[in-house]
Amino acid sequence: MSASKSKVLLIGSGGVGTIASYALEYAGKAEVTSVLRSDYAKVVEQGFSIDSCDYGKIPSFRPTNVVNSVEESLKFGPFEYIVVVTKCVPEVSNMIDVIAPAVSPESAIVLIQNGIGIETEAVTKFPNNVVLSGVSMIGSANLNSHIVHESTDSLKVGVFESNKLDNELTQAVCKKFVTIYTNDKNECIFDESVKFSRWRKLVYNACLNGVCAITGVDSGRLELFGGVDGIIRKAMKEVLAIAKSDGVELPEDIMEFMIRSDDPVYYAPSMLVDVRKGNLLEIEVINGNPIRIAEKNGVSAPYLTLCYELLKVIQRKTMEQKGLLTVPKERPVPK
């Protein structure tokens, strides 16, 4: 049966990516080659340990092939699907350049990442490959190769509008991916309006996620301290206006739905967690790209714009702390 399995290359084994590998291999329809970096040695030796709300306790999970570079993965290809589940931080690394050596004429690229406009580079660089859009709703974290998976894996997959390929082909490729990903424990659907789902998720991410990161408080405190009334509702209205200018009409009540979505928990959104850990944030795709769409379409979005500008400064502060940029020893001044 092994010959009929789809070959999948998976990049990014954080909490979401490792559960995706597991899901793909669970029903025996895919053979996953996983590119690992920091976890490589440990996983080769011991595998991931998983504690999952969907799959239970798995003492040791090792994807079929574990490699430590894309170059090394090539011997297990060619790949039918190349699944990217990394954080999207284009200021620091270009994931499309990273996967390029593995992209064959038949490969479909699946971007399971947050944000808007994340596909531009893939579609431009690989105009003859299908590029799929995955919007994941899951709670899962990788704590030093131990996966704590707390809320069920629910994945919507569709075709990016910007694919200029035959519609029937792209849909077939997408639906096949849904078939191999789906098993009896998770939820994975083909989403004809995946663009809607992507903008919908952004209502939370561009607003609550970003403002909690800037202010350093969880979403419960943000509300108690006046930030939901003073900031979030206004910023969310801007997201809805930008989405509309991009052809996506989100219902007004999505705003209250997202504001209440962490109830009754003092919940620290992922960007706040990352700020606290000194990690980089996905600000270009979550905050920057919507602003650029707003500018292009003439939509006023002062709150989101200022949040983005503040997050850019915070991101550069983190980059300096991580040694990814240095400031001149003396402050440069105009002559």
Provide, rounded to whole angstroms, the least separation between the CB of residue 203 and its own copies: 18
Closest residue by Cα to residue 199 from 148, 137, 242, 150: 242
Q: Is 230 in the site for its own copies (CB under 8 A)?
A: yes
What b/e string do you get for 262-285 counting C-beta neighbours within 10 Å, with b at 16 or more? beeeebbbbbbebbeeeebbbbbb
- 334 near its own copies, judged by CB under 8 A: yes
Give bridge partners of residue 108 from the DSSP assignment. Answer: 81
One DSSP character per residue, 133-184 reads: EEEEEEEEEEETTEEEEEEEEEEEEEE-TT--S-HHHHHHHHHHHHHHH--S
DSSP sequence for 215-278: HT--HHHHHHTTHIIIIIHHHHHHHHHHHHHTT----TTHHHHHHTTTTTS----HHHHHHHHT
- Using the rule CB under 8 A, which residue among 4, 168, 226, 298 binds its own copies? 226
| 222 binds its own copies, rule: CB under 8 A | yes
Q: Whose Cβ is closer to its own copies: residue 95's or residue 283's?
A: 283
253 touching its own copies, by CB under 8 A: no
> Taking contact as CB under 8 A, which single stretch among the options 6-14, 34-42, 87-95, 327-335 is the one that binds its own copies?
327-335
C-alpha dihedral, 168 to 169 to 173 to 176, nearest 10°: 50
Q: Does 224 bind its own copies (CB under 8 A)?
A: yes
Residue 333, interface with its own copies (CB under 8 A)?
yes
Phi first, then psi: give them for residue 201, nearest 5 degrees. -65, -30
- What gap in Å lies between CA 177 and CA 188, rounded to an integer? 9
Q: How far is CA 113 from the centre of its chain?
A: 2
Is the Cβ–Cβ distance between 139 and 11 less than 8 Å? no
Q: How far is the CB of 102 from its own copies (least distance, A)?
A: 35
Does 331 help bind its own copies (rule: CB under 8 A)?
A: yes
Does position 306 interact with its own copies (CB under 8 A)? The reply is yes
Q: Which two tokens stand for residue 44?
A: 């080769």
Closest CB to its own copies among residues 222, 271:
222
Least distance in Å: CB of 184 to its own copies?
33
Q: Is residue 332 a contact residue for its own copies (CB under 8 A)?
A: yes
Q: Where does this chain touch its own copies (CB under 8 A) — which range of 70-78, 80-88, 132-140, 255-263? A: 255-263
Contact between 316 and its own copies per CB under 8 A: yes
Say whether residue 298 binds its own copies (CB under 8 A).
Answer: no
237 binds its own copies (CB under 8 A): no
3-class DSSP state for residue 52? strand
Q: Which stretch binds its own copies (CB under 8 A): 55-63, 72-80, 198-206, 320-328?
A: 320-328
Considering the complex, state which of residue 103 and residue 314 has its C-beta at the smaller distance from its own copies: 314
Summarize as ranges the residues that interact with its own copies (CB under 8 A). Answer: 211, 214-217, 220-227, 230-231, 260, 262-266, 302-303, 306-307, 309-310, 312-314, 316-317, 320, 327-328, 330-334
